[in-house]
Structure 1
Amino acid sequence: MLALAGLTASSLFLTACSSTSDEASRQTGTPPSTGRAPAHWSYEEVGGPEAWGGLSEDYDLCASGTSQSPIDLPRTVPDLSDDVSIGTRVAPVTEADTGHASQVEVGEDGSTVRAGSRDFELLQMHAHTPAEHTVDGVAPVAEMHLVHTSDDGQLLVLSVLVDEGSASEPWQTFLDTATGPDGTTSTIDVASLLPSSLQYWSYDGSLTTPPCSEGVSWVVFSEPVTLSAEQIARLDAVHDHNARPTQGLNGRVVRGGDAMLRSE
């Protein structure tokens, strides 16, 4: 069974000006603003990943945390002992670029992941180029994060690695929405975004951006999907090199599993 980590959605901070309503918090997976403006961070040399921990006391874990993400993953998936199922519902999505990543927010009743006896609702999807997780030290060209939260605020992220190859029609819908004008909307069949094999690595980690909060359950599919060179270039044109370097494993165990799809 997937070991569920302990980060709650309420432990995140808003990274941009937004409504403080409960609905805004549900959509972003973040709580209302504390009244303190978040420190500016980036992926550049100034304010970049090596400096995050010193930018604000809120970001201390970026430097001092011992269960940080992303990590380097082994080529071979460990014993398939975890228990994850993924709902196949079509999700309504809306453009929600954060300034750090191309992103869409997911409307009510979008899709869920079931890990053990707990359900996680899909909140948002965003992209990193190149990939943040590496496999035997090699980074795929991109990585897509599908961020979920449970009713009690626990976070789980499905991660889809990307290689260059044939164009993907389902991911084209994501691209058209995430990189479109403000407020662009569409619908996405979440299951169509996933690789044909649903074998995965799982481990307990963190957010890969400040405040680098720990307690995030990660499910990283071992088989990549493919995007065309043109699709990858479109991501790069909006946010190029928005990937945090890999972090030390520090004794954590990387587990394995083989997810199932289920109708919702």
Structure 2
Amino acid sequence: MMIFLLNRLVHSHFITEPTNLLISDSNFLCATLLSEKLHTDFHVTLSQEELTWIAFSLFEQNQPGNDGNHLLTQHADFKALLAKLSNLASLNLEKDETFKQILANQIVYANTTNTLWGDIKPAYAISKTGKAQSPVKIDTLKTKKDAKITNITYKYQPTSFKLIRKDQMIQATAQPAKGRPDSTINVGGKDYTLKTINIHTPAEHQIDNKKMDAELQLVHTSKDNKTVIISVLVKSGAENKAIGDLTSVVANSTNNKEQTLKTTISTLGLIPTNDKHFTYQGSLTTPATTEGVTWFVYETPITMSTKQLDQLKSKLADNNRPTQSLNERVIYSN
């Protein structure tokens, strides 16, 4: 039976190099236990092929050299299985450890609406119930001008970063340098220190329904643990020199392995010269999507070359959260 299932996987046209492909018995055992639970408790039957998909899902996630590309999530049959499992989330399946592992590991960006984030575990509940979630669509005609609220003062320095990628999520962490102050901003009379840069391809925020190729999110925190994120949209165009070797490091990154960028990032060079921007109250855009975040989104995008954008997409493609309801929030412009 194992050889039969492996042959089906190999001939499903999404595995191009099945060399060294070994799915452990424990993966099939977990998948079988989940299948039995579904059948016994919820009268839902999984086909043998669906059982194989689950086993391979667990196998792929647990590989030591897993590069996070998750070919499974691109396959129509696996997407159908995810949809089938997703529809069962309300039946207390979230208490099943195997089901939670499959959801947490595979569905974050495979589910185009991310509606299940709030069902994966209690800590993510605000993703489903929150009224101030990010990202959002910004209608420039409906924004309210306020020079005071939108004021930002930059004290940026060329900054060194260490980068780590977890599947499709990337985080570049600013490193302190001897004899040089940290990069900071001042908002509302309070100083915030640049901590990380997150990258999403395509962009998460939309201005007047325009979808950009990528988005850089510069995350700052204050001494009292408040968060301000500067969002810089990116479109295809001239090569971006300010970003240094970040895009090539992303393209060559290994999952869960920290790397140091060889060049510093000219952080101030990432900020558009056109100062038009918007601010609103929102949340983080990855689980647990914690609220209480102040966002500043620049209207004018910066550019990256096609090569640079392709380097980002090679590891981070489609890691954007869809836009969320604005509810009663007001977006201010400068």
Give the shorter-chain TM-score range.
Answer: 0.7 to 0.9
In structure 2, the residue matched to 1:21 is none
For residues 237 and 103 of structure 1, the distance between their equivalents in structure 2, rounded to whole angstroms, comes to: 16
Secondary structure (helix, strand or coil) at the match of 1:49 reads coil
From 168, 184, 193, give the equivalent of 2:260.
184
For residues 85 and 130 of structure 1, the distance between their equivalents in structure 2, rounded to whole angstroms, comes to: 28
In structure 2, the residue matched to 1:217 is 294
Amino acid at match of 1:199: K
1:98 aligns to 2:166 (yes or no): yes
In structure 1, the residue matched to 2:13 is none
| C-alpha RMSD of the superposition | 2.0
Instruction: Tell me if the contact between 2:197 and 2:218 (Cα under 8 Å) persists in the aligned partners.
Output: yes
Secondary structure (helix, strand or coil) at the match of 1:106 reads strand
From 204, 209, 221, give the equivalent of 1:132.
204
Secondary structure (helix, strand or coil) at the match of 1:170 reads coil
Q: Structure 1 or 2: larger strand share?
A: 1
From 126, 129, 139, give the equivalent of 1:61.
126
In structure 2, the residue matched to 1:87 is 155
User: Residue 177 of structure 1: CA displacement?
Assistant: 4.1
Q: Structure 1 or 2: larger helix share?
A: 2
Secondary structure (helix, strand or coil) at the match of 2:326 reads coil
User: Residue 71 of structure 1: CA displacement?
Assistant: 0.2
In structure 1, the residue matched to 2:60 is none
For residues 243 and 321 of structure 2, the distance between their equivalents in structure 1, rounded to whole angstroms, comes to: 22
User: Residue 218 of structure 1: CA displacement?
Assistant: 0.2
For residues 146 and 268 of structure 2, the distance between their equivalents in structure 1, rounded to whole angstroms, comes to: 21
Amino acid at match of 1:65: G
Gaps of 5+ in 1: 1-36, 258-264
In structure 1, the residue matched to 2:272 is 195
For residues 194 and 177 of structure 1, the distance between their equivalents in structure 2, rounded to whole angstroms, comes to: 21
In structure 2, the residue matched to 1:262 is none
In structure 2, the residue matched to 1:45 is 111
Q: Which moved more, 1:210-219 or 1:172-181?
A: 172-181
Output aligned runs, 1:115-126, within 5 Å. Answer: 115-126=187-198
Instruction: Tell me if the contact between 1:201 and 1:221 (Cα under 8 Å) persists in the aligned partners.
Output: yes
Secondary structure (helix, strand or coil) at the match of 2:209 reads coil
**Percent same amino acid among aligned pairs?**
30
Instruction: Tell me if the contact between 2:248 and 2:311 (Cα under 8 Å) persists in the aligned partners.
Output: no
Secondary structure (helix, strand or coil) at the match of 1:144 reads strand
Amino acid at match of 2:315: V
Instruction: Tell me if the contact between 2:250 and 2:315 (Cα under 8 Å) persists in the aligned partners.
Output: no
User: Residue 179 of structure 1: CA displacement?
Assistant: 4.1
For residues 75 and 234 of structure 1, the distance between their equivalents in structure 2, rounded to whole angstroms, comes to: 31
Amino acid at match of 2:198: H
Amino acid at match of 1:161: L
Name which structure has the greater RCO, CA cutoff 8 Å, separation 6+.
1
For residues 279 and 123 of structure 2, the distance between their equivalents in structure 1, rounded to whole angstroms, comes to: 27
Amino acid at match of 1:63: K
Which protein shows a greater Rg? 2
Could you list the per-position Cα deviations for residues 121-141 of structure 1 after superposition, in whole angstroms to 9, with x for gaps in the alignment?
A: 011102101100011222211
The two structures have a TM-score, normalised by structure 2, of: 0.62
